Amino acid sequence: MARVRRQPARWGLYFIAFVWLVVVVPLSAAAAPYAAMVMDARTGEVLHSRNADTRLHPASLTKMMTLYVVFEAVENGEIGLDDLVTISRKAAAEPPSKLGLRAGQKIKLRYLIRAAAVKSGNDTATALAEAISGSEAAFARRMNRTAKAIGMTRTTFKNAHGLTQEGHLSTARDMTILGRQLFYDYPEYYNLFSRRSTHAGVKTVPNTNRRLLDAYRGADGIKTGYTRAAGFNLVASAERGGERIIATVFGGHSTAWRNQRVAELLDMGFARAPTRVAVHRPARPPYLGNTGPGGASGTEIRVSGLVARSVRPMARPRPAETVPVAVASAQVIDSAVAEVLDASVSDVLATVVGDPDEQVAEIVAETVRAEPAQPVGAAASTAGVAPKASVPPETRPETLQLASAAANERAAETAEDRVVTRLSTSGGRQWGVNLGRYPTRTSAEKVLLTTALAEMSALDGALRKVVQRNGGFEANFHGLTRDGADRACRRLQARGTTCFMVGPPS
């Protein structure tokens, strides 16, 4: 007799869904209080807040500070983007979300940064912390020092990834401040947060915030976060018509609810923010590295090619000079001058240039004897007599070559074969603006020319350059200062032109 296969009862699935909607979600909402903040990023003005100073679990919003410290370390030469980082057992064992790194694996720092910003990998955040400060605990102390320096007064970090830990707390206000600081202090890295996906060395990973990025016009970041204790958190930034708004939500009930609420807050911000207002950039915190005030370094900082200070050459030693105690009388001065004039010219030259050739001494002696000098004292003591007109010296013979001229010629001959190089300490005009990638060189050059004509004041002195890549031709402006590139890109964005800053080569 055939056995009848029994299908699982559908009521079981309904029961699970009922428990999730009726029990789990309300409990999560109760465990994660709601807090929100809306800020005009241009001025730092708060446009809306609710429970903004309540200390809550930030979840993966923590990685904004992790990345901020990493950007600072790279900029100051502590570590390079292409330096290989060895993954520790602790980093590899972090729970999801993660990139899936193995203990002992080596990976470039730039890929860890991408995975932490886009994928929100916990293993990559721990690896970054250990690479910069030697341990996650030391890195957390550095995070706290940096947070205090930029005005995050109610934040305490215990780890680099944001997983729930006792005492690891922040507020909606502090995270909004951090999002604004990231945007203004490291604009060359900010484009990471708007990538829908990125290659992280071992695989391509999607952005955890891609739904809001795709759904809300002008959204370009910044960071999501979720744990059971925190709920669904998000710090979002959007730019429209030169206005930039940052909105933060703590304790969302779900991803969809959180994104809808953030969209509403961003709309509120654009409605309340003035259209034209002066931009007030936040003050940048002082660079302290791994050593805080009165603290010891968490790890040794590797030597880089950056010049910490310009060493000036020592002053050339001078022979000891005798300082006269009293001023000699006029008669004594006249007598001394007369003795010098009566002395042989060859003796004088020997004193000045040090034993010249006899031919040089003879030529100079004949020139002096042809026009004898008058003692200074006699000329000064003769009253009512006009001084004798000075006679210009004769032209120097072509055969005459003093010791100093010969030395200069020898130095010039030697200098032709010598090249002196040094590291530049000026910082220079090494920044640029990228206008995107185009299918043909002609189209890229046309965009550069049109943009240069439209923004002559902002791009004054910039060089147009088309760079061929695998996907097409990139249109770039080079030769700007950091402030100049930042100002030019913002003016272009205000006109609706997509661009991002390009920093000096690493």
Q: What is the pLDDT of residues 463-494, one digit of tens each?
A: 888 988 887 899 998 888 888 888 888 888 87
For residue 221, the SS3 value is strand
For the four alpha carbons of 130, 136, 139 and 143, in that order, the dihedral sign comes to positive
| Model confidence pTM above 0.75 | no
Q: What pLDDT score was predicted for residue 490?
A: 83
Q: What pLDDT score was predicted for residue 423?
A: 38
Q: What pLDDT score was predicted for residue 368?
A: 46
Report d(CA 502, CA 431) in Å as an integer: 6
Report d(CA 117, CA 125) in Å as an integer: 9
Q: What class, spelled out in words, does domain 431-502 have in CATH? A: alpha beta
Q: Which residues are catalytic?
A: 60, 63, 120
Task: Check if the beta carbon of residue 97 is closer than 8 Å to that of residue 122.
Answer: yes
Low-confidence ranges of the chain (pLDDT < 50): 1, 4, 29-30, 294-308, 310, 322-330, 332, 336-337, 340-357, 359-361, 363-364, 367-368, 370-388, 403-406, 411-427
Is the link from the previous residue into 344 a cis peptide, with omega within 30 of 0?
no
The dihedral formed by the CA atoms of 186, 174, 226 and 156, expressed in degrees to the nearest 10: 100
Q: What pLDDT score was predicted for residue 447?
A: 87
Antiparallel, parallel or unpaired: β 431-438 and 500-502: antiparallel
Q: What CATH superfamily is the domain 34-272?
A: DD-peptidase/beta-lactamase superfamily (3.40.710.10)
Q: What pLDDT score was predicted for residue 455?
A: 81
The residue extents of the domains of the chain are 34-272, 431-502
Token pair listed for 110: 């730039």
Q: What pLDDT score was predicted for residue 344?
A: 43
Instruction: Kindly list the distances between the CA atom of residue 168 and the CA atoms of 112, 159, 247, in Å, as whole numbers in the listed order.
Output: 23, 8, 22
Burial of 240 (0-12, 13-18, 19+ CB in 10 A): middle
Q: What pLDDT score was predicted for residue 497?
A: 83
Report d(CA 128, CA 139) in Å as an integer: 9
